[in-house]
Amino acid sequence: MLAPKKVKYRKMQKGRIRGNATRGEKVSFGEWGLKALSPRRIRARQIEACRIALVRSIRKSGKIWIRIFPDKPITKKPAETRMGKGKGAVEEWVAVVKPGQVMFEIEGIPYSEVCVVLKLLTHKLGIGTKIVGRH
């Protein structure tokens, strides 16, 4: 599963996802990309599920790029714990995705297959997406 090797601070504040993506909004590496249409936190497990689905469906014919990385820690306190006693332990890692950000890129397979594969990823992510081309 994806997670940073080392971070400066162990825990982070929740924050809000505001505005549109200003970086990573164009297809830079492959021919086709999957662009987010709504703001969301994507879990490391979801990214891994998408990676496995991509690898299985493309086989050895194409190439993939994952443009998002889960670098934000999400903490959780144990169930039935009283208030206070500090912030909970890090439970999982998420990638913060803004509308307009390209999350995955593909090349080397025909457009008919690209549509099927990227639609499968949309179901795994649970986020509104759009298929975009390089040009």
pLDDT at position 130: 96
CA gap 116, 54 in Å, rounded:
11
Going from the C-alpha of 78 to that of each of 12, 14, 93, the distances in angstroms are 18, 18, 17
**pTM, rounded to two decimals:** 0.92
**102: part of which helix (H) or strand (E)?**
strand 102-107
Indicate the domain borders of the chain: 39-76+89-133
What type of residue is 66?
I
Going from the C-alpha of 15 to that of each of 18, 33, 95, the distances in angstroms are 9, 27, 13
CA gap 20, 94 in Å, rounded:
18
Q: In this structure, which CATH number among 3.90.1170.10, 3.40.50.300, 3.40.50.460, 3.40.190.10 belongs to the domain 39-76+89-133? A: 3.90.1170.10
pLDDT per residue rounded down to tens, the chain (135 residues): 899 999 999 999 999 999 999 999 999 999 999 999 999 999 999 999 999 999 999 888 899 999 999 999 999 999 999 999 999 999 999 999 999 999 999 999 999 999 999 999 999 999 999 999 987
Residue 64: both structure tokens together: 């993939």
pLDDT at position 61: 87
